[in-house]
Each structure stands twice: as C-alpha cells, then as structure tokens.
Amino acid sequence: MSETPPPGFTPTGTIASPRDRRRVVFATVVGTTVEWYDFFIYAFAAGLVFAELFFAPAGEGFAQILAFITVGISFLFRPLGAFLAGHFGDKYGRKVVLMLTLVLMGAATTLVGVLPTYSAIGIAAPILLILLRILQGISAGGEWGGAVLMAVEHAPKRRRGIFGASPQIGVPLGLLLASGILALMAAVTTDEGFLAWGWRVPFLLSVVLILVGYYVRRKVEESPVFQEIAERKEESRMPIVQLFRKHTLLVLVAALVFAGNNAVGYMTTGGFIQRYATDPGGALRMDAEPVLWAVTGSAVTWLISTWVAGWISDLIGRRSTYIIGWILQLAGVLLLFPLVNTGNVWLLFAGLAILTIGLGFTYGPQAALYSELFPASIRFSGVSISYAIGAVLGGAFAPAIAQALVQATGSSESVTWYLVGMTVVGLIATLLLRDRSGIPLGPEHEAEQAKSPIYGLAKA
C-alpha cells in the first residue's frame, strides 16, 4: 500500500509549510494586483481622457480609436516580455523575473502620471505615451508566467487549481482598485479638474503600490520545481528554441484558449464599455462616476467566480470547468449590450456582473491548465509565450475593433457577434486539449510531461 504524502507535499517532494504556502499565495495576489492595476489604469484613461489630451488633432472619432490602439500596441510587445522572462525564468529562476517586471511596470506607470500633454509639448506627448505603454506591455508579458509558476509549483497536487487562482484574481482585484480610484477621483473633482489633473493621481499612486508589492515578493522562496531543476543542473540552455522546436502547435492552441477569454474581458479592462456608456457623442451619455462604480462592482463578481472556478477545477478537472465557463461566457456576451443599452446604471452593472461570471470560469483554471501542459525545463517559456500570444490575438485590439465596429455600423450588435466568435474560438481550442489535472510537475517526470496533450498527437 502506498504511503500517504504528508500535508504540504509538493510535486518535487519538498515539504512546504503552511506559512510558506500562505506567503506564496499572498505575494502572488498582491504582486499581480499591483501589476494589473497599473495596466488597467492606462486602459481606463485611454477610454476617458487620452483622446482629448494626447490625440485631439486627429479629430474626435479617430482620436478615440487612436487612444484605444495605444492600449493594443502594448500587447504586441508582450511576446517580447514573455520571451525574455521565459528565457531568464527557466535559466535563473521565477523570483528574480517577478521582481524586475514589478519595478518596470511601476516606473512606466508613474511616468505616465507626470507626462505633459499634446497642448504642452506637441507630437512628443503621444510618442512618449506610446513608449511608456510599450514598457508596460513588456512587463505584463513577463509577469504572468512567473506569478503562475510560483503559485502552482508550490501547490499540493490536488490543490493546483485553487493555488493557481491566486495570481488570476489579481486581474479583477486590479480592475476593482483601478476603477474604484478613478471613480473616487471623478467624484471629488469637477469634469474640468478631472481632465486637468484628477486622472494623474491614480498613476502616481503606483509608486506606493510598487513598494508594497516589492517588499512582499522579496519574502517568497523560489519555486521548488526550479530549485530541483537547478540542483540537478538541468536548466535548458535555450528554452525558447526547445519550446518552438517541439511544442509550436501546443503554444498556438493554448494561446487560442486565452484569446477567447481575453477579447471579451477587454470590453471592461480595456476601457471600451466605459467609453461606450459615457461618450458625449454617443446614444447613452451616462455620467462617468456611476459607470466606473458599476465596473468596480463587476470586478467583485469576477473575483469571486475566478476563485470558485479554480476550486471547482480541482474537483472536476480543468477542461470540464472551462467548458462550463465558455457556455456561461456566451450567455454573458449575448446579454451584455441589451442591458447596457438601457442606459440604466443598475442594468449596466447586471450585464457586466453576468459577463464576469463566465470570464471567471474561463480564467480561474488557466494557471493550473497552462502549468500542466508544458515540461518543467521549458515551462516558464511555454506558459508566458502562450499567454502573450493569446493576449495579442484576443484583447490587444478588442477595444479598438469594438469602437470601429460601432462607428461603422451605428450599433452594438456587430460587437456582440465579434465577441460570440471569440468565445467559440476559445471553446474549440479547449476541446482540442486533454485534461492533465494532477500530472507530476517535477523535472524527473519530463518524459511524461513532453507527451502532447492535443488530441490525436502522440508527441509535441
């Protein structure tokens, strides 16, 4: 009869104390919350003020599209961040990469808060704004993979889903924090004051948040899986080359899983709904403050559903949880604009809350799913690059596409069908993957991990 592993037994055989596990969960939640707060503050400002402050000479309609395009430009540099973070994370460890990405994101965000506008320095203003957004993209591309692996590789085998949900809830927490602070600034300033200086305060607050995140992450031990890889001296010399030589198709399929979630999620995190509801030239013309509070409230439902989905995935598997999520997300997409278009803030909140339940179920299990797809020696590269490519294919230009569709058709119906299509793409990609919940994650099981999880393939 096999011996029952002791509590806290990790995939590599290392004993993780309850204190260590709590510290890892807390650090990943705090760190990813700070990162995504920084990332979303930019997107919200792009929807609310950047068109007027940085792109006004382009004309009212096109200026807003340009502002949303700068949101998407950062996604094009996420793969670069993922390549760099994956290479160094697989060679030198997860922790050092997490510290660097946190500092880079905070510095870029703070500098946006002091950036002169177009009226002050002309064309240099949007150029500098884009450069800072690119730095945010590089940081975001490297952040997620490291946070995910620190959480999942510390987790007991049967609790990877709930541990992996800890960095995932950093997204709705970042959304809650960003939209809440912007709503507060909108409440305490006049429209003119918010446009002149109020929008800058959330960017400048990033300094404090980064210091907190940095302090918390310094206290966390390196991933036990990477420690064992280092002890065995089995670090891959060129992890990215190995990844694409053996696992290119898997990277693409995994990316499409995320793309289906990300395109829909960026209706709020990318600032589109905020702009759509408050646009002075639009049909709704709602006040910014209640809309921002509605988005803040929906972040709570997103947080809860993300956490619940991670827990459920430990019970029924990642694949089954995702399939339920895609069905819920599809329902949320179909209900979103009929509720938003009423112009009633409570129904707008209801539409966003319903949508975020599906988003949580297609995001909560992702950390565990991705970690179980790739071999230990190239896992950081695999999860980071898959995530970054999925972000480019999904959320990168979703707000700009939605804005262009509304301007071209005069209706939100075209946006609904765009989001339906992306949801179906995510569902199909999920159906192509076998469930590998519970597969050993340590380097001694590399041969088992290297077998392709894609149906119909024996090898990656």
* Residues 169-213: tens digit of each pLDDT: 988 898 889 888 988 998 899 888 988 999 999 999 988 888 887
Does residue 252 lie within any of the structural domains? yes
Contacts of 263 (CB under 8 A, 6+ apart): 394, 395, 398, 418, 419, 422
Tell me the pLDDT band of 226, cut-offs 50, 70 and 90.
low
CB atoms within 10 A of CB 186: 23
pLDDT tens per residue, range 441-457: 887 888 888 898 998 77
The pTM assigned to this predicted structure is: 0.81
Does residue 424 lie within any of the structural domains? yes
Does residue 459 lie within any of the structural domains? no
Of 3-17, 72-86, 122-136, 300-314, give the lowest mean pLDDT range. Answer: 3-17
Tell me the pLDDT band of 356, cut-offs 50, 70 and 90.
very high
Does residue 455 lie within any of the structural domains? no
Torsion of CA 206, 387, 76, 215, to 10 degrees: 20
User: Tell me, what's the pLDDT at 147?
Assistant: 80
Tell me the pLDDT band of 9, cut-offs 50, 70 and 90.
very low
Domain housing 427? 18-449
DSSP 8-state class, residue 3: P
Kindly tell me if the per-residue pLDDT of 335 is higher than 50: yes
CATH number at residue 85: 1.20.1250.20
Distance between CA atoms of residues 238 and 309, nearest Å: 35
Domain total for the chain? 1
What does the mean pLDDT of the chain come to?
85
Query: Percent of the chain beyond pLDDT 70?
Result: 89
Residue 3 CB-density burial (10 A; 0-12 exposed, 13-18 middle, 19+ buried): exposed
Does residue 67 lie within any of the structural domains? yes
Average pLDDT over residues 348-364: 96
Contacts of 447 (CB under 8 A, 6+ apart): none
Kindly tell me if the per-residue pLDDT of 55 is higher than 50: yes
DSSP 8-state class, residue 93: -
Does residue 3 lie within any of the structural domains? no
Does residue 333 lie within any of the structural domains? yes
Who has greater pLDDT, 442 or 247? 247
Does residue 31 lie within any of the structural domains? yes
